[in-house]
Amino acid sequence: MEGRASPPSASRARYVATVLCRGPVEPLIFLANFALILQGPLTTQYLWHRFSADLGYNGTRDRGSCGNHSANPTMQEVETLTSHWTLYMNVSGFLVGLFSATLLGAWSDCVGRRRLLVLASFGLLLQALVSIFVVQLQLHVGYFVLGRILCALLGDFSGLLAAGFASVADVSSSRSRAIRMALLEACIGVAGMLASLLGGHWLRAQGYANPFWLALALLIAVTLYAAFCFGETVKEPTHARLFTFRHHRSIVQLYVAPAAEKSRKHLALYSLAIFVVVTVHFGAQDIFTLYELSTPLCWDSKLIGYGSAARYLPYLTSLLGLQLLQYHLADTWVAEIGLAFNILGMVVFAFATITPLMFTGYGLLFLSLVTTPVIRAKLSKMVLQSEQGALFSAVACVNALAMLTASGIFNSLYPATLNFMKGFPFLLGAGLLFIPAILIGGFPLAPDLPGPEDRGQEERSEHSPAGSRHLGSQLPAAPAAPLQGQCSPWTWWSS
């Protein structure tokens, strides 16, 4: 009996030691997003130049024609074909991922986050491999759709993010969670910025094939890291069947099961808010490259790389802004400020006809991404610790629906509005962002449920002297800032 039994504290210590000896999730998300963003604009440009060659259009290489604002029927046909094939890839991938990401996300609550990370990483690897075959062998562009479906079957990047955010929620306190979420999103942004800068220059120097080979190599490394180096954050993984409706039912119960303080109502409202924000964000992302390639901007691959890097810079500036604003403002006001800057940027994009004005719009987005980590953190604090995987798989489902909606609306609306106002989709996005602004500002916040570090502090306070508890109760509430050695976003390994 002595050899088998061990006190809970010893078991917890062994678990913490195991986590400290294994790697965190941030490098995995960083490398995976680097590979994904490296491929995104390259795929769009490849489609553009492939259709241009098929239709006998010289693309944007004839810079003298860029000042001519008259409609070129061949150019519009190239834009329409590129936009439609982008839509086909997104729709096929997100429809499949809508089922698989939610299934795998809830499954990770039982078996741990590692298995989902491995499956999703391998799916991204397969997509990169198919893209290489298309570029090297000049296969039909429909194979891009096949690669997208294979990736979605294994969880897609949505599943990877669901596991990443859930693992952060597994080990963070309610006080530090918004910063931790923003830190993970900053990893996404910095990776995207570096990949965009590299992709534009590399395309001009060596063509399409080599960047795709780098993406494949990175995704192989990501898959190996997830399998052998990631530190599992679920304390007691258990065996569970994958193909069962119980996983989807646990997601539905998040929104319909009765709970105290109407937190389920807040879950639905905040999910709607993040749905609209993600719809506008990814809808604009889908048409940015097309908008910049065509007249009157007529950007080359180098400028497109700079523009893509500028789009991802707000991930980093928003992290710094969030850390500063949380010292002085409530989370609601921080989110509203982010939405205001997002709206301003979209309005500028709608009327941008010259390069400096386009980069002015990018500059106005510097705080636009403080909204999503605040919403994610608030959603995470509304559910129990055992529901984090189900929650973030639900958020992945919301993201997938938002991306599908964004692809359907923006990729269909853009070619339809070319004749009277190319920037109209950006104006539509600015108008849609008033919906989350009203939802976030018009409803009171639900009470937070304690995170793992919060419960640890409560356990320690129960064993502290009565005088210490009394003294602590007289102290004023601390601001929503990181605690030294415990909640700092830069010491995430200590969690």
Separation CA 55–CA 82 (nearest Å): 12
What pLDDT sits at residue 491?
A: 30
Counting as low any pLDDT under 70, the low residues of the chain are 1-21, 59-71, 240, 243-248, 259-263, 443-495
Predicted pLDDT at 458: 41
Overall CATH class of domain 26-59+76-231+262-447: mainly alpha
Burial class, 301, CB count within 10 angstroms (exposed 0-12 / middle 13-18 / buried 19+):
buried
Domain ranges of the chain: 26-59+76-231+262-447
pLDDT for 488: 31
Alpha-carbon distance of 259 to 400, in angstroms, equals: 26
- Whole-prediction pTM: 0.72
Contacts of 419 (CB under 8 A, 6+ apart): 71
d(CA 168, CA 315): 17
Q: What's the confidence (pLDDT) of residue 207?
A: 78
What pLDDT was estimated at residue 239?
A: 73
